[in-house]
Structure 1
Amino acid sequence: MKKVKRIFVLIILLSLTGCWDENLLKDSALVLSIGYDLTMDNKIKTTSAIRTSKLMAGGQSESVNYIVEEKGHTLREARLEVDKQIPGVYSPNKLRVILISEKTAKKDLYPYFDVFFRDPRSSLAAKVAVVKGQASDIIKVKKLKENLISEALIELIRSAEEHMIVPVQNQQTIRTSMFDEGEDFTLPYLEQLDKEKIKVTGIALFHKRSYTGKTLKGNKPIILLMAKGDKKKDIKLTENLESNKDHDVKNFVSFSVIKTKRKMKIKMVKGKPEAVLNMKLFIEINEYPKGSLLGQKEEAELNKKIARRIEGQANEVVSTLKTANCDAFGIARYLIADHNKEWKRLNWEKVYPEIPFKIHVKVETVKRGIIF
């Protein structure tokens, strides 16, 4: 009986022991956003926005950003340098945004994420974006329209995702893409227009694990994502139906894409791949200053004009992707799955930019507004 009691006490004692790897919040310096830039001597400069509290009058506290900048041969070395000048331990487990300068992103991207992938406490849900100019310049803004920079950046990117201006990406998804030979990935592209304005202006195109220097802007990111089959509730476009140079308000139409149907077909012709993309858009007219759409003839003509505009821009998107050697459509994946023998014989680096790519777009108006 005594032996049973001793075993029971031992089990209780073991259950009360603490975690060997616990990390207390009070001992951590929470990093919410980081910017990466390459220095002239080819080191990595990290600019971190660390959240802390500032004591105000009346015993109240206010959240503020403490900006720390250091450099090293690797991210771990730079992080150790940061630890020497901050209270608490550098903690990226609440990281929300990673900004990478164009110059840095043109190198192999993986080394800038290896330190996160090896640490089980890292937040792999952090958003990743490419920045025109220096990433540190944006982190040092500290506040944007009364919001701390980390919160402002995450809201900018999420809003762009909701409007299908950029793809939904984070550290976890791009890690998968980095090792996927069947498809290249894209990332949000940010620009600092002035001291008080930062804007998501498009998407950066990657080939394998490096930024190509090419971007898609305007409506083209939306066209690409629709053509890939991505769908959000809030897809809104404004198109000039006549000449891009003629900015008369009557030449424009604004509409929402309610539903899309698309089909990508890859076939081999004489040992070489060809791609055909068929898209059908079901739209709601939001604004058409030119006038009424009561007649079927007027509606059919409008649908044709919109289809031609979308088709033209889709072809421009494909041209840019080929120039960048960015297989954002994942054509290689189709070939690997359906034409594996032929795929193994192809020199994909040379073949991809030469692939014939046919695009056919149809538009159907399903809503024209209340009075029409």
Structure 2
Amino acid sequence: MLFGVLTLFVFTTACWDQDSLKDARLVNATAIDITTKGEIRQTLEIVNDYENRSVNEIHSGMGRSIRQSSDRIRDRVTGNIRFFKYGLVLFSNKLAQNDIYPYLDVLYRNPDNPTSHVKIAIVDGEAGDLLYQRKVGSIQIGEFITEKIKSLEELCVFPEMALESLLSPMLDPGQDFTLPYLVKDGEEISARGIALFHEQRFTGSLDAEQGPLYVILSGKWGKTARFVKKVNDGPLNDPRNYVTYEVNTDKIKRKLSVRVSDDSQIDVNLNVVLPVTIVEYAMNQLQEKDTIEQLNRKLSEAMTVDAEKIIRTLQQSGCDSLGIGRHLIAHHSELWKKLNWNTEYSQVHFHPEVTVKVIGSGVLN
């Protein structure tokens, strides 16, 4: 038997299917725009490593599909283009107003394209313009934007999202999604806020200051969230009238419940308890119990109003990113079949309540 096995090895063809990385041109970032004629313009940041130094090139190609535009870039560069597993995909807001899935299909369909760690964001304006900046300081542009998104996810300014995790809510009829929203301001790349989607289309946005509270309301928060609120009467430019506080995210309590009445009216109660630490308050006096109780009341009222504004924007944009439709599908399936969710979602009665509890006030107190 052993002799027979060894004989078979002699006639067995070895597998020579190799994909050598030394010949590959790694794509660190992709930007996709749409022209006035409806053509796709794809811009790639290609990174080359030469003897312990890294150099990036920016190339653009036009086409009627993502594959065609990338093939036209391949015609002009040497080597085999491969996509980096910690890469980045940017869409212009103009393109995102259409159904974005057709522009992502090839990324999900091709097994050579990584998805698990690839960040995705919307750009206010031309997405390719960000890549043509090439560098921010000494950092290559794709790496800079990717790390910027990750750090703002940790601060709850952006919702945490990767190309892989986007697919499920994008195809779910009872769940919408949100993405980071960037803007190029001169030579700076800043957080524009959060891009809201309904049925795979960009329909509205929240600003950067609303981001942390939205992320908390959505139930998927990062390591910390920081807020600044005016709590005292007086001039807007007097820092003594403001308090800065951080949320202890590991102690947040959130409860969302959906109730359907006999007449099919849908009510959503969303209660959030935020334990916070005061990190800046020039008025001090935080050793007094009455001051703490007053701050708790003022901050709770202000953040509840902020939550109401955020939910109102979600409804106006048709963005059910809190997954109310998914809850109805799971628990009220017969009602869901009768609903036209595109119109009924805006009629849902939301009742948000944010309770702030100061649990720390720094070493001064």
| TM-score when normalising by structure 1 | 0.93
- Give distance in 1, aligned partners of 2:134 and 2:141: 5
- Give distance in 2, aligned partners of 1:244 and 1:8: 90
Q: In the superposition, relative to structure 1, how do residues 274 and 152 fare at CA in structure 2: closer, same or farther (>3 Å)?
A: same
- State the secondary structure of the residue aligned to 1:184: coil
Kindly state the Cα deviation for residue 61 of structure 1 after the two structures are TM-superposed.
Answer: 5.1
Which of 246, 257, 273 is the equivalent residue of 1:280? 273
Q: In the superposition, relative to structure 1, how do residues 119 and 292 fare at CA in structure 2: closer, same or farther (>3 Å)?
A: same
| Alignment check: 8 A CA contact 1:96 1:126 kept | yes
- Give distance in 1, aligned partners of 2:228 and 2:7: 73
- Give distance in 2, aligned partners of 1:253 and 1:305: 11
User: What residue is the counterpart of 1:255 in the other structure?
Assistant: 245
User: What residue is the counterpart of 2:224 in the other structure?
Assistant: 234
- State the secondary structure of the residue aligned to 2:220: coil
User: What residue is the counterpart of 1:118 in the other structure?
Assistant: 109
- Give distance in 2, aligned partners of 1:370 and 1:62: 45
Which of 332, 335, 346 is the equivalent residue of 1:339? 332
Q: What is the identity percentage for the equivalent residue pairs of Structure 1 and Structure 2?
A: 30
User: What residue is the counterpart of 1:132 in the other structure?
Assistant: 124
User: What residue is the counterpart of 1:27 in the other structure?
Assistant: 23
User: What residue is the counterpart of 1:215 in the other structure?
Assistant: 205
Q: Note if 1:17 corresponds to 2:8.
A: no
Q: Note if 1:308 corresponds to 2:301.
A: yes
- Give distance in 1, aligned partners of 2:49 and 2:357: 55
- 1:1-372 equivalences under 5 Å are 4-11=2-9, 14=12, 17-20=14-17, 22-53=18-49, 60=51, 62-94=53-85, 96-124=87-115, 125-195=117-187, 197-212=188-203, 214-242=204-232, 246-258=236-248, 259-269=251-261, 270-372=263-365
Kindly state the Cα deviation for residue 39 of structure 1 after the two structures are TM-superposed.
Answer: 1.1
- Give distance in 2, aligned partners of 1:267 and 1:244: 42
Q: Mind listing any 5+ residue stretches in structure 2 that lack a counterpart?
A: none
Moved more, 235-244 or 328-337: 235-244
| Alignment check: 8 A CA contact 2:156 2:223 kept | no
- State the secondary structure of the residue aligned to 2:252: strand
Kindly state the Cα deviation for residue 19 of structure 1 after the two structures are TM-superposed.
Answer: 4.1
| Alignment check: 8 A CA contact 2:191 2:208 kept | no
**Which string of whole-angstrom CA distances, capped at 9 and with x for unpartnered residues, describes residues 50-96 of structure 1?**
01145xxxxx5521111111010001111111111110122225460
- State the secondary structure of the residue aligned to 1:92: strand
| Alignment check: 8 A CA contact 1:281 1:362 kept | yes
Kindly state the Cα deviation for residue 219 of structure 1 after the two structures are TM-superposed.
Answer: 2.5
- Give distance in 2, aligned partners of 1:275 and 1:12: 70
| Alignment check: 8 A CA contact 1:93 1:121 kept | no
Count of residue pairs the alignment pairs up: 361
Matched residue type, 2:23? D
Q: In the superposition, relative to structure 1, how do residues 218 and 290 fare at CA in structure 2: closer, same or farther (>3 Å)?
A: farther
Matched residue type, 1:18? C
Moved more, 357-366 or 139-148: 357-366
Moved more, 229-238 or 168-177: 229-238
| TM-score when normalising by structure 2 | 0.94
Kindly state the Cα deviation for residue 47 of structure 1 after the two structures are TM-superposed.
Answer: 0.5
- Give distance in 1, aligned partners of 2:287 and 2:4: 89
Moved more, 337-346 or 29-38: 337-346
Superposition RMSD on alpha carbons, in Å?
A: 1.8
- Give distance in 1, aligned partners of 2:221 and 2:127: 30
Q: In the superposition, relative to structure 1, how do residues 75 and 339 fare at CA in structure 2: closer, same or farther (>3 Å)?
A: same
Kindly state the Cα deviation for residue 182 of structure 1 after the two structures are TM-superposed.
Answer: 1.6
Matched residue type, 1:342? L
Kindly state the Cα deviation for residue 243 of structure 1 after the two structures are TM-superposed.
Answer: 6.8
**Which string of whole-angstrom CA distances, capped at 9 and with x for unpartnered residues, describes residues 232-254 of structure 1?**
33222111225798332122111
Q: In the superposition, relative to structure 1, how do residues 342 and 284 fare at CA in structure 2: closer, same or farther (>3 Å)?
A: same
- State the secondary structure of the residue aligned to 1:30: strand
- Give distance in 2, aligned partners of 1:343 and 1:36: 36
| Alignment check: 8 A CA contact 2:228 2:242 kept | yes
Q: In the superposition, relative to structure 1, how do residues 244 and 28 fare at CA in structure 2: closer, same or farther (>3 Å)?
A: farther
Q: Mind listing any 5+ residue stretches in structure 1 that lack a counterpart?
A: 55-59
| Alignment check: 8 A CA contact 1:156 1:199 kept | no
- State the secondary structure of the residue aligned to 2:53: strand
Runs of 4+ in 1 over 3 A off after TM superposition: 11-14, 242-245
- Give distance in 2, aligned partners of 1:347 and 1:280: 33
- State the secondary structure of the residue aligned to 1:96: strand
